[in-house]
Chain A
Amino acid sequence: MTSKPAAPSNRQSSSAIPLVKPQCKIHPSATVADKAQLIGPHVIEIDEGAVIHPHAKIKAEYGNIAIGKGTIVSEKAIVGLSEESGEDTTLVVGEGVSIESGAIVEARKIGDHATLGINCRVGEGAVLGKWCKIAPLCEVGPNEVLDDYTVVFGEGRKGRRVDVVVRDRKEVREARLKGTEMERQLLRGIIVDMSLIS
C-alpha cells in the first residue's frame, strides 16, 4: 500500500495537492495490495475481508470513505470524490460489493452485493440499492437513486430494469454470494497483504 505522492492523476484537480497519508482504519483480515493507492487526508475505513487490488485508487481527498465487508476493489478503479462537494461526506460502499477494474465511483452510497462493471461511472451523490448491477461502460448520473435489484445496461429510463430473478429467487442470490466468496479466497492467495506494514 503506497501512501506516498504518486504521479498526478489525469483528472482535473484544482491544485497539485501534495498527496497525504490518510488516517486508515483497516481491519486485520482485509487484504490490501502493496501497489494500491490510498490518498488522504480524510479517513479511509476498510472492513473485514475486503480485498483491494494493486493500482486501485481510494481517494479520500474530499470526504471519508468506508469500504464494507468482503468488498473487492479491482485495479484502476477510482473510489472517491474528485471535487470539493461542500459538506463533509462519507462515501459508503456496502458489503460484498464488487467494483470492477476502471470503475469511477463517486456515489454517496453503494448498496450491499452490488456489481459495478468495468469502466463504469457512478456520479456524485448517487445512491445505489442492494444487489444492483451496473453493466460495463454504463453511467449513473449524479444524485441518481437506484432501487434495489436494479440493472443499468443502457441510457436513460429504458436502460434500467429491475432484476426480478435476483429479487425473487433466493438460490440465484446464494449462487452469486458463493461466487464472490470464491473470488475473494482466490485473491487472498494471490495478493500479498501489506496493510500492517508501513
Chain B
Amino acid sequence: MTTAFPSSLYACPCSDLSSAPTPSSKRASIQPNTLELSGDQAFNPHSPRANYALYPLSDLLYCEECDEIRCPRCWTEEILYWYCPNCLFDVPSSTVKGDGNRCSRSCYNCPSCTTPLQITQVSHRDEGLLKPTDAAGGDETYVLQCQYCDWSSLEIDVRFSKPTKITEQLAKQRKARVSGKEDTAPSDKKVTAPDDVFASLVSFYKDQLDESGDSRNPYSNSPYNSPANLARIMSLYGGLSYNALKKTREKPQPMREALGAPEGLFSFGTDRSDTEIISRMQTSGWDATPTAEQQLSAPVNHDIRFADELWPSATQLRTRRAKRCKNCRHIIARQEPKVGNMRYKIRLLAMNYIPRLSIRPLHPTMPLTNPAFNLKPEMPQHELLQPHKAQQYVLTIRNALFETVKISLATPATTPGKVASRVTILCPSFTVGPAGDVWDEALSASAEPNSDGGRKAAMASLTGSSESSDRQPEAGKIWERTRNSTSVIVEVVPGALQQPPSIVRKTDKELADEELEEDDDVLEVPVYVRTEWEMEVKPGESVQAKKDANAMPGEKVGKELGYWVVLAVGRIAG
C-alpha cells in the first residue's frame, strides 16, 4: 500500500474491522496481560475493506473528552467561512445563501481550460479607419485573458471599460445582447416567429414581475431573493397577522404563466427552425460543441450549442471547515477565522496523545533514506524479503503523554491473508517513560553509559564498538529504552508466496483463492496496542460520565486505549 518500507498505519477503533481481541477461552488460566489472538479476530490488512480503515498517524485526530481516536469517518465537519480561492476574500454566509456560492467580485474562469482569467488591457483601434490627428492615441479597454490557453473575452466580443466590477459589466453586455436579438426586425414572418414569441413572452414576464424590481442573480436558486417574493410566499398559507389571514380568504392572484399567444405562449411544433444550428454542427463536428461540464458551468452557458460561444463562469467559492467529534460534539480542530491565516486555534492531533510505533531492521543492509530527500524521481529500490529466512526488526514505541504508559502488544502468530508469515514479539508487555521538556532530561542523571561526555564515551565512539552491536536479542527483554521511547525486537519469518504443490487436487475455487492479487506479497503485520496510564483529575475540570464519575479532583484515574496498527515491513520475493 505504501511505497516506502517500513511504515506504519493506524486503524481507527470506529471501524468494525478493528474489534478488540478477547482473551482466548481455551486457556485454563487466563492471565489478563497476555492476549491470545485467533486468526479471524485479528485485523486483516489485506482485506479490501482495510484500505478504508487504515490511516497514517498524521491524518488522525483525538478527542480529549471521549479519550478516543477520531478518523475522517468519525468526525463531522462544519463550515467556518466561505472564501474565493482567487481573490482570497471572505464572503459572509448570508451573501452565499442569497447569491449562490460564486465570487461576486471579478474572478472568472476560462470556459475552455477553467483556469482563472486575468484582466488585461488592450488597445482599441479599429482597422481601416483613418486615425484623426487629434485622437487620444487608441483608448484602452480591458478584456479577460487566460494565461494558459490564450482564450480571451474578445472571442465572444466582450470588452470592459474599467477593470473593476466585471460582474456588472458582463451582466449588462449579456442583457444587451439578449434584448438586441429580440429587437432585430423579422425579415420573414415564418422563420422568425420564434423571435416574436420570445419577445412577447419576455415582456409578459417582465410585467408579472414588475413588483420585485431587484436585479436577478443568475447563480441563486433561492426563491427568497426579493422582499416581494418572500412576502408572497409567506402569505401563501396565511401570513403572520389577522389581516393577512383575512386577505388569503379573498383569492390572491399568484403569479401566473402565460395563457395564450398574445402573452407569448409558444407550443413546441415541428416547424422549429434549428436547421442552422444542425447544419453548423454537421460541418464542425462533435468537438465544436461544449461538453456537459462546460454547459453546466454557468447558467448563461446552459443553452449554448457551440464551444466558441461559451461565456466565462464565476469562480466557485471554497469553504474552511472545523472538525467535531461525532459523539461528544467537542471541537477537535479549528482554524483562525481570518482567511489567509493557517494557524490552528484548536488542534488535537492523535500523535500528541497516542503512542507512536515505528519499525526498522535490526541489521540494516541498506541505508535508511527518508523519502523526502530523494533527488531522483524514481522509487528507491527496496530489498525483497526472502521467504523462510528469519528477520529481526526493532519496534520503537514513542510516548507522547506526560505520564508513564504501560503498553501491551498482541499480534497473531501468523499474519492473516494469503501469505502466512510468522511473527513473534519478543517482549510484548512493557512500560514507556513520559515525554517531557528537554530540561528534564538534562537535569536528571542519565542512565546510559555511553551518553555522558566522559572518557568512556569518547573511547567507545572512537573505536566504534559498543555493546549494542554485539548484543543478541533475548525473549522477554527490552532492547533499548530512552526517556520517552522503548524498543523491542520483533522476529518475522516471511512465508512463501506460493503454496508447495500438494498431492491432493485442488478445486478451481481453491486455486482461484490462492492466486495472489496486487499487494498480497507485502508483509503487513497487524499489532494490537493496548496502552494504560493514569491521569490526574485536575480540580475544576469537568468530570466526564461513567468511569470518572466517582473520582474526586486530585485523585488518579486509570485510562486505557486500544487500537490496531499495521506495520508494513516489506515485499516478499518469489
Residue A26 CB within 8 A of the other chain: no
Neighbouring B residues of A166 by C-beta, 8 Å: 150
Q: Decide: A175 and B122 in contact? CB cutoff 8 A.
A: yes
Looking across the interface, which residue of chain A has its beta carbon closest to that of B121? A175
Do the beta carbons of A135 and B149 come within 8 Å of each other?
yes
| Least CB separation from A160: chain B residue | B287
Report, as a range, how many residues of chain B touch the other chain.
10 to 19
15 sample A-B contacts, Cβ–Cβ < 8 Å, listed by A number? A135-B113, A135-B149, A153-B148, A154-B149, A157-B287, A158-B287, A161-B149, A163-B150, A165-B154, A169-B154, A170-B127, A171-B122, A171-B125, A172-B154, A175-B122
Q: Chain B: which residue is nearest A174 at the CB level?
A: B123
Q: Contact string, B148-176, partner A, CB cutoff 8 A, digits 1/0? A: 11111011000000000000000000000
Partner of A154, one of B113, B154, B308: B113
Tell me which residues across on chain B come within 8 A of A66, comparing CB atoms.
Answer: none
Chain B residue at smallest Cβ distance from A158 = B287
Q: Contact between B112 and A165 (Cβ–Cβ < 8 Å)?
A: no
B523: shortest Cβ distance to chain A, in Å?
A: 34
Cα distance, A154 to B307, chains bound together (Å): 15
Bound state CA distance, A180 and B112, in angstroms? 25
Indicate whether B291 reaches chain A with its CB closer than 8 angstroms. Answer: yes
Overall SS of chain B's interface? loop
Residues of B within 8 A of A (CB): 112-113, 122-123, 125, 127, 148-152, 154-155, 287, 291, 308
**Nearest-Cβ distance from residue B74 to partner chain A, whole angstroms:** 39
User: Does A116 sit at the interface, judged by CB under 8 A?
Assistant: no
Q: In the complex the two chains form, is B148's CB within 8 Å of A136's CB?
A: yes
Judging by beta carbons under 8 Å apart, are B127 and A165 in contact?
Answer: no
* Nearest B residue to A149, CB-CB: B150
Interface residues of A (CB under 8 A from B): 133, 135-136, 151, 153-154, 157-158, 161, 163-166, 169-172, 175
CA distance A133 to B146 in the complex (A): 13
Give, as a whole number of angstroms, the nearest-CB distance from A165 to chain B: 5
A2–B151 CA distance with the chains assembled, in angstroms: 40
Give the residue name and chain of the B residue nearest to A168 (CB).
B154
Report the minimal beta-carbon distance from B305 to chain A, rounded to whole angstroms: 16
A154 to B291, CA, bound (A): 14
- Contact indicator B291/A133 (Cβ below 8 Å): no
A135 to B149, CA, bound (A): 6
Q: Which 5 A-B pairs have the closest CB atoms?
A: A153-B149, A165-B154, A157-B287, A153-B113, A151-B150
Contact across chains for B308 and A164 when beta carbons are under 8 A apart: yes
Who on chain B is nearest to A10 by CB?
B376
CA distance A136 to B148 in the complex (A): 8
Complex: how many Å from CA A169 to CA B127? 9
- Point out the residue from A133, A136, A158, A171 that lies within 8 Å of B150, measured CB to CB: A133
Question: Contacts of B149 on A, CB cut-off 8 Å?
Answer: 133, 135, 151, 153-154, 161
